[in-house]
Amino acid sequence: QVQLVQSGAEVKKPGASVKVSCQASGYTFTTFDINWVRQATGQGLEWVGRMNPNNANTGYAQKFQGRVTMTSNTSINTAYMELSSLRYEDTAVYYCTRGNRPASSYSWLDPWGQGTLVTVSS
Amino acid sequence: EIVLTQSPATLSLSPGERATLSCRASQSVSSYLAWYQQKPGQAPRLLIYDASNRATGIPARFSGSGSGTDFTLTISSLQPEDVAVYYCHQYYITPLTFGGGTKVEIK
């Protein structure tokens, strides 16, 4: 079955960077976009951006431009999201999730990884 | 950015009752709208995509309708396991956006 497995929880100091991984299985990794969505405790869902593992094209929410980098390693079916210059308000659970229409931006998100808690604390 | 407004914020119903959740978009998203269910401590789970298509394995009591700017998720007969927060999501225009959620409770 299609599955996304994320790396473990992280604790970082303000100003540091964090890199979260997302390993895919059960499908051809390069066929579908990987999106990243975050959720602060008790809050709603916020889209961070997406990347196409086939050509490495990315699209980021303007709020994160300049601070986020999405990459992938197709040899191990793994996507990465790196967020730099961390602030207290970046504390959240970060999810990776797959787009479902190949070569299309009109794509719902399914499945979702289990989430990675990133805590920014001094 | 397309803003999705969900109502009501909280819905409290008895088992077996019909639940109607609304999602309104600030501009047309055609039919590129999905609904997700999220239970505490879990990742969101896809229920409906393209406004009215049920995802694999989703019970038939869940249905979606609408197009353009007004959408509805209906739970025809509420079950105790349906207690969760429900989010709508548009994937028509980036940035992708989500509604603020509707919390469904059992009376």
The pLDDT mean for chain A works out to: 96
Band of the pLDDT at A102, cuts 50, 70, 90? confident
Nearest CB neighbour to A45, from listed B50, B87, B91: B87
Res. B97: pLDDT tops 90: yes
Whether A117 has its CB under 8 Å from any CB of chain B: the answer is no
- Decide if B98 and A45 are in contact by the 8 Å CB cutoff: yes
Distance from CA of A70 to the nearest CA of B (A): 16
Average the pLDDT over A96-105 and give the result: 88
- Decide if B87 and A44 are in contact by the 8 Å CB cutoff: yes
Of all residues in chain A, the one with the smallest CA distance to B86 is: A44
pLDDT (tens digit per residue) in A65-83: 999 999 999 999 999 999 9
Average the pLDDT over A91-98 and give the result: 98
Nearest CB neighbour to A95, from listed B43, B92, B95: B43
DSSP A53-73: TTT--EEE-GGGTTTEEEEEE
Band of the pLDDT at A34, cuts 50, 70, 90? very high
| pLDDT at residue A104, as a whole number | 77
Chain A CB contacts of B50 below 8 Å: 108
| pLDDT at residue A29, as a whole number | 97
Chain A CB contacts of B31 below 8 Å: none
Calculate the alpha carbon distances from A26 to A5, A53, A90, A98, B74 in Å: 12, 15, 31, 12, 31
Res. A15: pLDDT tops 90: yes
Residues contacting residue A55 through CB under 8 Å, at least 6 positions apart: none
Of all residues in chain B, the one with the smallest CA distance to A35 is: B96
pLDDT (tens digit per residue) in B19-49: 999 999 999 999 999 999 999 999 999 999 9
| pLDDT at residue B83, as a whole number | 98
